[in-house]
């Protein structure tokens, strides 16, 4: 019997259809028994005799994959593959797929939520009101300001469409350009990342994590930003140097930040949790009912297609 391990805790939480799809194929389905992100030892043990895995952010590096001698399919529950050693998977002939487009709107919505919350200091105001402090705080406007997008894939484009409702000017940087979309939405491409950092009032990251992008926002980049800048990251932990982020926010060198993803979750630097100009998310930008259902359906469908394709080829 084909064995498939499913690690995401939200898989089939609202609709059983993603799970039922797998069971109708006659697969043995093993769900995450830990109720949290697994360690390398834990996931390595579960997939040691598995044919396929639907994985969230649990580690699938070379050390783990070497233990999974039968594994032929990795179906990502989401789109980021930085937790997967895709080079080694390719070397081993393991098919890797992603749930493209499943959570685009959810992440774009949350990006704007963080942007607004940081600019308007919503959490600070909420906390003070609960203390019966009705002092009014003067905060930042979002409307008519300049939004800088680093990365103009599906999510970056979705954020740009939302920004139109706020009459924002948009400047973007990406190594792959879509001139037709940019022209239709009034977006100006920058030649360098530095141009975005110096110009934008709001900077939103929508890039994959790799050796080229790791810590792309560090002390030098923070020094380029306006003192009223707001930085938002709903992409991947590791894009921002978190020590530099802490130092910058502690010194109030920029207005604030909204961060949903960290290199270690919860953040290894506990001092970040004490900053009132940082809005923190629990890697939950994609956690809406529709996005969870979509990710489950697409991940299951991708796994089935890969498994059945391999079996047919044999």
Range of lowest pLDDT (113-122, 136-145, 241-250, 301-310): 301-310
For residues 302 and 186, state if they share a domain: no
Based on the domain organization, do 135 and 88 belong to the same domain?
no
Residue 100 phi/psi, 5° resolution?
A: -60, 135
Which candidate, 281, 285, 284, 282, places its Cα nearest to that of 118? 281
**Which pLDDT belongs to residue 314?**
44
What CATH number should be reported for the domain holding residue 175?
A: 3.40.50.720
144 and 275, same structural domain? yes
| Catalytic annotation, pick one of 42, 145, 206, 283 | 283
**Which tokens belong to 49?**
């005799």
Same domain, residue pair 124 and 230: yes
Supply the range of the domain harboring residue 69.
3-102+289-313
283 is catalytic: yes
Does 59 share its domain with 142? no
Cβ 233 vs Cβ 280: under 8 Å: no
Given the residues 42, 145, 206, 236, the one annotated as active site: 236
- Can you say how many angstroms the Cα of residue 162 is from the centroid of all Cα atoms in its chain? 18
Torsion of CA 143, 148, 150, 153, to 10 degrees: 50
The tens digit of pLDDT for each residue in 265-287 reads 999 999 999 999 999 999 999 99
Choose among 271, 206, 268: nearest CA to 234: 206
Which residues have CB under 8 Å from 222's CB, separation 6+? 244, 245, 248, 253, 254
Q: Which helix (H) or strand (E) holds 259?
A: strand 256-259
Catalytic residue among 28, 215, 265, 301: 265
Do 20 and 56 belong to one domain?
Answer: yes
Query: Do 140 and 43 fall into the same domain?
Result: no
CA 225/CA 231 separation, integer angstroms: 9
Question: pLDDT tens across 146-162, in order?
Answer: 999 999 999 999 999 99
Q: For residue 309, what are its two tokens?
A: 């394709």
pTM for the complete prediction? 0.88
Backbone angles phi, psi at 299, to 5 degrees: -65, -40
The count of domains in the chain is 2
pLDDT value of residue 237: 94
pLDDT given for residue 185 in this prediction: 97
Same domain, 260 and 198: yes
206 catalytic residue (yes or no): no
CA angle 16, 17, 23 (to 5 degrees): 90
* Residue 236 is a catalytic residue: yes
Same structural domain, 255 and 153:
yes
Residues 184, 256: one domain?
Answer: yes
Looking at the fold, whether 75 and 115 belong to one and the same domain comes out as no
């Amino acid at each position: 019997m084909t064995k498939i391990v499913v690690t995401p805790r939200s898989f089939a939480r609202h609709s059983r259809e993603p799970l039922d799809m797998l069971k109708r194929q006659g697969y043995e389905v093993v769900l995450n028994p830990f109720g949290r992100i697994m360690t390398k030892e834990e996931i390595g043990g579960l997939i040691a005799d598995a044919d396929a895995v639907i994985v969230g952010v649990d580690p699938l590096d070379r050390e783990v994959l070497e233990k999974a001698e039968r594994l032929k399919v990795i179906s990502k529950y989401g789109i980021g593959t930085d937790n997967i050693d895709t080079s080694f998977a390719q070397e081993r002939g393991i098919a890797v797929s992603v749930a493209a487009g499943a959570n685009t709107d959810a992440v774009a919505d949350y990006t704007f939520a963080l942007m607004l919350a940081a600019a308007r200091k919503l959490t600070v105001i909420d906390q003070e009101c609960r203390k019966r402090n009705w002092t009014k705080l003067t905060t930042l406007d979002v409307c008519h300001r300049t939004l800088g997008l680093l990365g103009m894939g599906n999510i970056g484009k979705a954020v740009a469409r939302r920004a139109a409702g706020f009459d924002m000017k948009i400047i973007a940087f990406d190594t792959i350009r879509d001139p037709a979309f940019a022209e239709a939405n009034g977006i100006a491409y920058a030649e360098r990342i530095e141009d975005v950092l110096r110009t934008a009032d709001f900077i939103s990251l929508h890039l994959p994590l790799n050796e080229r992008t790791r810590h792309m926002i560090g002390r030098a980049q923070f020094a380029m930003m306006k003192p009223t800048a707001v930085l938002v990251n709903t992409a991947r932990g590791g894009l921002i140097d978190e020590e530099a982020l802490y130092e910058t926010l502690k010194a109030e060198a920029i207005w604030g930040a909204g961060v949903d993803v960290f290199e270690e979750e919860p953040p290894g630097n506990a001092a970040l949790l004490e900053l009132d100009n940082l809005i923190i998310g629990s890697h939950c930008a994609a956690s809406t009912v529709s996005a969870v259902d979509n990710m489950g359906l697409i991940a299951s469908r991708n796994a089935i297609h890969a498994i059945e394709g391999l079996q047919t080829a044999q």
